[in-house]
Amino acid sequence: MSKAELLGIKAKEIMTRDIISAEKHERVSEVIGKMKTYGIHEIPVIEKNKVLGLVSYSNILKKRQIPVSTAVENIMIRSPKITEDDNVVDITRIMLDTDFKALPVIDADEKLVGIVSRIDILKNITGFKEIASLPVEKVMSPKPITVSEDDNIMLARQKMLELSEQTLPVVDSMGKLSGVISGKDLSRIYSEAKKAGIDLKQKKRINIQVKSFMSRPAVSVPPTATVAESIELMLKHNISSVVVAVEDKPVGIVTHWDLLELLAKEKEENGVYIQITGLERQDAYETEALFDIVGKYMEKVNRIEKPTHLYLHVSEMLQKGGIPKYEIRGKLTTLKKTYFAQYSSWVLFECADEVLSRLERQVRKEVEKKKGQ
């Protein structure tokens, strides 16, 4: 498949027409039951077959208190709507911008006619040789956050929340990959804890090890495996990430989002595609200042090599006394290569400045290395 053919793929060609939806008056408990039954994360809320919004696990969890009898119209969130003629790259960018895993497709009368999910898009990436043939070492996020088999399950949950990770590799006492723990695995804790009479609100009393709930064996690939091979494993095992391992030790992780980012940059644009997550608790001033720092460094990088995509994730980890410490992980993609950096600091802007400075230095070093060859 050529680049032109890839950009020509429309929503109507890849969307799922067998739609699972909810009426606005349905209860939250009923909708959660649908998501569990059909193995989906988001459901469109409709009235007379017109989309009103979306309900997802993530927006349900963000509500502090929700009676299960609440009508979904009271907790749904507005979602972007795509048309049957929107192309796959534009749809991918909307997903990355909004953090939705699936988007409703409407016709000319604004009636719901389908759903496009991450999986629908990934199935088509394998036909695009420029992406499908890439080794995963060029795509993966290196040095993945891991947990030990013997760690408390609440530590794994805390890491997922702080780092916005959906899946964590699990290692044994020798640092070798023994499994993975995901949000889905953690959800089993609540039913098991209830049976055992454990009060999950009393966190100090919980003593459940990760190995009791992790999925094994972990689905892994070597760094030389291709993107196409990784996607095939994701589809086969119905998982959202694959661990990259060398001699059974995790060295990276490839997720749906990593692959969608690859596709998003295939449409030529003059600017840099920038995505910053984890800023929900920051005020407008801090957000504006952070973008100023990003802009300064992107100008520097652009003088050396054309940047196409920048992803920054901000994690806020509360320390003793309630003082936050920030960690930022960054991924910068240029026309030639992808670079990674991370840094932690008590000061948000210092943290961002250092991460972007490290990324810029890596680009500069790589370009100078090429010139010397």
Report the CATH number that the domain containing residue 206 is assigned in CATH. Answer: 3.10.580.10
Q: Do 117 and 178 share a domain, yes or no? A: no
Q: Do 46 and 101 share a domain, yes or no? A: yes
pLDDT digits (tens, 9 = 90+) for 107-143: 988 899 999 998 899 888 887 888 889 999 988 888 8
Q: Is the predicted pLDDT of residue 228 greater than 90, yes or no?
A: yes
353: Cα separation from own chain's centroid: 23
Q: Is the predicted pLDDT of residue 242 greater than 90, yes or no?
A: yes
**224: CB partners within 8 A, 6+ apart:** 135, 136, 137
Q: Is the predicted pLDDT of residue 42 greater than 70, yes or no?
A: yes
pTM: 0.69
Above pLDDT 90, what percent of the chain? Answer: 31
The pLDDT value given to residue 309: 83
**Lowest-pLDDT range, 36-40, 209-213, 233-237, 326-330?**
36-40
Q: Do 176 and 290 share a domain, yes or no? A: no
Domain boundary among 260, 292, 311: 260
Angle between helices 153-163 and 183-196 (to 10 degrees): 140
The pLDDT value given to residue 1: 66
Q: Do 88 and 162 share a domain, yes or no? A: no
Q: Do 356 and 295 share a domain, yes or no? A: yes
Domain boundary among 228, 260, 292: 260
Q: Do 36 and 12 share a domain, yes or no? A: yes
- For the chain, the average pLDDT equals 83
Q: Do 113 and 144 share a domain, yes or no? A: no
The pLDDT value given to residue 179: 93
Q: Do 113 and 193 share a domain, yes or no? A: no
Q: Which of 12-21, 49-58, 93-102 has the highest mean pLDDT?
A: 12-21
Q: Which of 49-58, 123-132, 217-226, 340-349 has the highest mean pLDDT?
A: 217-226
Q: Do 247 and 290 share a domain, yes or no? A: no
The DSSP call for residue 150 is T
Q: Is the predicted pLDDT of residue 370 greater than 90, yes or no?
A: no
Above pLDDT 70, what percent of the chain? Answer: 84
Q: Do 135 and 252 share a domain, yes or no? A: yes
Q: Do 86 and 156 share a domain, yes or no? A: no
pLDDT digits (tens, 9 = 90+) for 51-97: 998 888 766 766 656 676 788 888 888 888 899 999 888 898 888 87
The pLDDT value given to residue 52: 92
Look at the chain and report how many structural domains it folds into: 3
Q: Do 148 and 70 share a domain, yes or no? A: no
Retrieve residue 85's tokens.
Answer: 């003629």
For residue 129, give Cα distances in angstroms to 9, 225, 231: 15, 14, 13
CATH code, domain carrying 359: 3.30.160.100
Q: Is the predicted pLDDT of residue 203 greater than 50, yes or no?
A: no
Domain boundary among 240, 260, 280: 260
191 — pLDDT class (breaks 50, 70, 90): low
The DSSP call for residue 68 is T
CB 160 within 8 A of CB 166: yes
For residue 157, give Cα distances in angstroms to 37, 146, 174, 182, 242: 24, 12, 22, 9, 19
User: Which residue range forms the structural domain that includes residue 341?
Assistant: 269-372
